Amino acid sequence: MKRLIWWLAALACTLASPMAAAMMIAPDAEHGKAKSEAHAAMPTGKVDAISTTTRKIVIDGVTYVYSPSSTVITVNGRRGRMSDIHSGDTVEFQLASQRSGKTASLSALTLRRR
C-alpha cells in the first residue's frame, strides 16, 4: 500500500511539473508587475523610424510592415494608434505569420510610457 501511495505521489509530481512550468509567472522588473512567460518572450526594440504613408516601421534596424486595420496597438494598456508611436520609443512587438521573401508584418505593438 505504501508503495502504491509513493508511486501515485511520484506520478502526480511528474504530471504537475510541466503544468507548473507553463503557469510560471516572471516578474516585470521595470514595472514591478507580473506577466506570463509568453508575454515576456515578446521581442522588444527601439523605434528607429516610422512612416504612416508607406505603413512601415523600423525597429532596431529591421523594417516591418503594419496594417492600420489589423495591427493591434496598445499604449499604457489602452488601445492606441500608430500616430502614438514615435521614433526613439521602446516597444514590444509581435509578428504575424509571414511568407518567405516578404517583409515581416506586425500583429501587435505595445508601448509603455511612464
The answer, yes or no, to whether residue 84 has pLDDT greater than 70, is yes
pLDDT at residue 86 in the model: 95
Write out pLDDT tens, residues 45-78. 999 999 989 999 999 999 999 999 999 999 999 9
Write out pLDDT tens, residues 16-46. 444 433 444 344 444 444 444 444 568 999 9
With a CB cutoff of 8 Å and minimum separation 6, the contacts of 28 are 34, 35, 40
pLDDT at residue 8 in the model: 62
Q: Please classify residue 96 by burial: count the beta carbons closer than 10 Å to its beta carbon, then call 0-12 exposed, 13-18 middle and 19+ buried.
A: middle
pLDDT at residue 43 in the model: 92
